[in-house]
Amino acid sequence: MVVVDDGSADDTAQAASAFRDPRLRVIRQANAGVSAARNRGMALLDADAYLFLDADDRLSPFAIAALAATLKPCPAAVASFGGWCFDSGDAHADGFSATRFRWFGGPMRPTPIDMLGRLLTCNRFVNGGHLLIAKSAIRSVGGFRTDLRFGEDWEYWIRLALLGRFVPVREHRPLLLVRSRPEGAYRRMAADPRSFDACMGAIFTGKALGARVGPAALRHARQRAEAENAWIVGREMIRQGRVADGRRWLAASVRAAPSAKRLTLVGASWVAPRLPTAWRGPFRPYAAGTESEGSDPIRAASPAS
């Protein structure tokens, strides 16, 4: 294990250094961002597979064992993955949480899945904590892009998906428990359409992706991704109190990619302010100083207006 203290202002390095275990290494560096921290950790380890765990998140006790047991018999897979949930602070020791459990892998079978098409629409993984990535894939795909401050993981997963398939674990419990704090990047950036532009450019101008899917399919995928992210922008604006602006972004998303569910939710956005907070579903406002329970993974895209 490598703990990279990326210029933190708390006692992260001291707390990690207190563990006397030769398998643990603590690295301190000036703040350079999550991509640089992950790349530093990768460079210092020589392992059969790699997992990235963000500072606020925690693994269920069985997570690594489940991921490793799933990946090992599938040498052609680039990674194994499982489900996750938001950590409400009262999670049980076995990894369950009071918040809802999310699974993006389809049927619970250890069959490798081609995730490229799904990932081109939106980021299907909340972060790296519920993926175990094979060494061969790590070496082939290279590091995270340090020029991306938002959605850098989504761009990385797509590069992995270009290499091969992902295999889901046989596990009905969440492997990762996620916290999102008020000062975190998601709340600061998800309601700002400009935050998504750099990642979208990095993904949809990649030569390898263009060669794989072709120009027409690439244009269609980008339009779908832009619609998905217009929805995220609108929803986050509403949750942060910018209701009128948020509804305009929701409408732009539906125009770009109509669906009965989204049309229903747009209508619900007009009713939600008159409902009790707990009944507002995806438009429930954030409570100051609490985790952003109910928000989706980061989805990088530019507006679909």
Per the structure, the complete domain to which residue 246 belongs is given by: 186-283
Q: In this structure, is residue 31 part of a structural domain? A: no
What dihedral angle (degrees, nearest 10) is formed by the CA atoms of 200, 231, 218, 258? Answer: -170
The reply to whether 50 and 170 lie within a common domain is yes
Task: Count structural domains, the chain.
Answer: 2
Question: Considering only CA atoms, which of 13, 51, 52 is closest in space to residue 31?
Answer: 13
**In terms of domains, do 70 and 161 share one?**
yes
One domain for residues 134 and 229: no
| Amino acid type, 264 | T
Residue 184 pLDDT class (50, 70, 90 cuts): low
CA 148 to CA 126: how far, in whole Å? Answer: 17
Amino acid, single-letter form, for residue 251: A
What is the amino acid identity at position 158?
I
pLDDT reading at 68 higher than 60 = yes
Instruction: Please tell me the predicted confidence (pLDDT) of residue 182.
Output: 64
Q: Helix %, strand %, coil % for the chain, to 5? A: 45, 10, 45
Question: Could you tell me if residue 157 is inside a domain?
Answer: yes
> What's the CA gap between 300 and 154, in Å, rounded?
7
Q: What pLDDT is attached to residue 290?
A: 42
Q: What is the pLDDT of residues 10-42, one digit of tens each?
A: 888 899 999 999 999 999 999 999 999 999 999
Separation between Cα atoms, residue 241 and residue 51, nearest integer Å: 36
Q: pLDDT of 211-252, one tens digit each?
A: 999 999 999 999 999 999 999 999 999 998 899 999 999 999
Write the DSSP assignment of 18-68 as a string of letters.
TS--TT-EEEEE----HHHHHHHHHHT---SEE----TT-EE-TTHHHHHH
User: Are 190 and 68 in the same domain?
Assistant: no
pTM, two decimal places: 0.85
Written in H, E and C, the secondary structure of 276-293 is CHHHCHHHCCCCCCCCCC
Answer whether 125's CB lies under 8 Å from 115's CB: no
Residue 155 lies in a domain: yes
E strands, the chain, are 2-6, 25-29, 49-50, 58-59, 79-81, 84-86, 101-102, 131-134, 166-168, 176-178
Q: What percent of the chain has pLDDT over 70?
A: 85
Q: Are residues 60 and 132 in the same domain?
A: yes
147, 178, 209 — which closes off a domain? 178
Same domain, 164 and 55: yes
260-264: long-range contacts, CB 8 A cutoff, minimum separation 24: 262/231
- Separation between Cα atoms, residue 107 and residue 85, nearest integer Å: 18
Considering the domain architecture, whether residues 228 and 271 belong to the same structural domain is answered as yes
